Chains A and B, each alone.
Chain A
Amino acid sequence: MASDRFGIAAIGAYLPEQTQDNLSLARKFGFANDFLETKIGVVAPRLKAAGQETSDLCVEAFSDLQAARSIDPATIDLAVVVTQNPDGHGLPHTSAIVHRKLKLPKSCFAFDVSLGCSGYVAALAIVTGFLDATGGRRALLFTADPYSKVIDPDDRNTRLLFGDAASATLIDADGDWRLGAFDLGTDGQKSHALEVRNGRLAMDGRIVFDFCMLNVPASIVRTLEGNGVTKDEVSRFVLHTGSKFIVDSLRQRLGVSPAAFPAPYGNTVSSSIPMQLKELDPGTNPVVVISGFGVGLGWATTLLRAF
């Protein structure tokens, strides 16, 4: 069971200004007219500017967080960045660069978590566990995985799907949403289905689709059982927005009503879940299931309960 001493206190998000015209690209790639609307669900994903680094996206997300909740950087004990597309070559770790840019105190430890779409949920367990183990009180959890760094512009399997974004989550003892029991797993035998080869992202959509359909609903059922909650007691199911087709298919399998696809800005990898949570009021959404899945291939699911 995760620590119940800490919770999600506030979330900030950042979307770069530049958009990609998926309508034109869909025509170029020869997709049927309704493919973009019914399967991808992404019309205008965002792309970071050429000079923007992953740490810059984190700093922008922190600015948005600061607008919602004034935070004294001196009170932060831990800064974590979830990314697999770090600044430069990943050394130093991007979280150390964010640490410098935000002028966080020397007493604040910083590390990166190398995970993709399951990263935010898994990092919630890592961050709260770290605070528990070290006597820390406040943490900043960032997600920023700009796939535009590795997208092959000629790859019709991935070009339309992904968008750049970042999030910043404040985790402390005053957090509104507390973490419940987790369900996590990895199928490393299928790790080749979503990987960077020769500097370019490559995806076998069918393997990823099968993985999601066969593992995510079961993970959500186990999470409900582990938390002693029935499906009807859940206010919202916040699923990683891999694509509209994946989300629609998962909802169908779970037997929960379809929701408007919440990601006109694309599959933002580990940022997709915090960006959706940011729009939810814990007061009216007291029980929320969050599930991230993808790279690894892995999944991470837990339940948030309003405090």
Chain B
Amino acid sequence: MVTERQVRDVIARVRENFDANALGKHVDFDEAGLDSLDQASILLSLQEETGIEFPEDASSLNTIDAILNYASAQQTPPGHDRG
């Protein structure tokens, strides 16, 4: 389980002097000033904390919401949400 709090804490740790709490869930990281290296750091930290593996091409995981949705889908048991 990855929580929004975890993602925001990781962002704050990765990027000093960045107000992670003020970042909108749907705001694109690039637009918020988090560059590609920050984003790589964020995903690696989350991977190490939670065990979730993110795909090599993670270009779509560019908002807090996108990360939460991806993590949630990964942790859903196969067939669980298919009725």
CA A213 to CA B43, docked complex, whole Å: 12
Q: Which residues of B contact A214 (CB under 8 A)?
A: 44
Residue of A nearest to B43 (CB): A206
List chain A residues, Cβ under 8 A from B37: 39, 205, 209, 245
- B56 beta carbon closer than 8 Å to chain A: yes
Whether A32 lies near B56 (C-beta < 8 A) is no
In the complex, the chain B residue whose C-beta lies closest to that of A156 is B36
How far, in whole Å, are A246 and B35 apart by their CA atoms in the complex? 14
A32 pairs with B35, CB closer than 8 A:
yes
Count chain A residues whose beta carbon lies closer than 8 angstroms to a beta carbon of B: 14
Q: Is A249 an interface residue (CB 8 A)?
A: yes
Chain A residues numbered 244-263 whose CB sits less than 8 Å from any CB in chain B: 245, 249
Q: Size of chain B's interface in residues, with CB distance under 8 A? A: 11
Pairwise interchain contact B44-A210, C-beta atoms closer than 8 A: yes
Chain A residues within an 8 Å CB radius of B40: 205-206, 209-210
B73 interfacial contact with A, CB 8 Å: no
Do B35 and A204 have beta carbons less than 8 Å apart?
no
A74 within 8 A of B: no
Residues of chain A in range 24-43 having any CB-CB distance to chain B below 8 Å:
31-32, 35, 39
Sampled A-B contacts (20; CB under 8 Å): A31-B35, A32-B33, A32-B35, A39-B35, A39-B37, A204-B56, A205-B37, A205-B40, A206-B39, A206-B40, A206-B43, A206-B58, A207-B56, A209-B37, A209-B41, A210-B40, A210-B44, A213-B44, A214-B44, A245-B37
Q: Which are the 6 A-B pairs with shortest beta-carbon distances?
A: A206-B40, A209-B40, A245-B37, A39-B37, A210-B44, A213-B44
Interface residues of A (CB under 8 A from B): 31-32, 35, 39, 204-207, 209-210, 213-214, 245, 249
Given A32-B33, A206-B56; 9 other pairs, CB 8 A cutoff:
A32-B35, A39-B35, A205-B40, A206-B39, A206-B58, A209-B41, A209-B44, A210-B40, A249-B41
